[in-house]
Amino acid sequence: MRRAMMASAASAGILLATGGILSFGGDGDHGGGHGHHHGGWDLSGTFRDDDGDSLGRVRIDTDDGRTRVAVRVSDLEPGFHAFHVHGIGKCEPDSANPSDPEQVGDFLSAGGHLGAGEADHGQHIGDLPSLFVDEDGRATLTFETDAFDEDDLLDDDGSAVMIHAGRDNFANIPERYAPDGPDATTRATGDAGGRVACAVVAD
């Protein structure tokens, strides 16, 4: 099964945001790159918080079986934040969970992680490297993965990229801490916490 490259910012799988690699431009920028939309990127989305304020952008480009993802955000709490692709392209604050309508919360409309029905957390195709936010509340991250492609992101119900309140343990809890292994919540979400910013993926 294809799987994401779960690497730290210091690893070879992460492209540092220097030398023009992270080129976002304005929303109306259609120049450069491979001739795609969004300033050379196939897909993009705007991260918004539960008040509807814009926090930054995600850009996605697919080519030759590889998917490149670039993120630039601000106004977030410092520290590591779980970062995932979710299976429904709806970013609605105070919304119902599609699989459990009695559960209501911010951006629950986006459903679970992309590929959540096929594996435990840490192996979902929507599981991405964690996002590190600096003391100024800003973060940039660029990486490549072979876990998903444009067809996965733009299926019938679309997809959304989510930033969570907490860090992601990728359901990696040693038996000395949990003899029975990770519980159901950890296997589903990596104990990532609430959803603080959401971006609908669009072409």
The SS3 assignment for 95 reads: strand
CA 178 to chain centre: 27
Q: CA 71: distance to chain centroid? A: 9
Do 21 and 136 touch, CB atoms closer than 8 A?
A: no
* 132-142 per-position pLDDT tens digit: 999 999 999 99
pTM: 0.79
Helices (H), the chain: 37-40, 150-153, 184-189
User: Across residues 8-19, what is the average pLDDT?
Assistant: 34
Tens-digit pLDDT profile for residues 141-195: 999 999 999 999 999 999 999 999 999 888 888 888 888 888 888 888 888 999 9
Domain annotation for the chain: domains and CATH numbers: 39-200 (2.60.40.200)
Dihedral angle of Cα 153, 106, 170, 57, to the nearest 10 degrees: 50
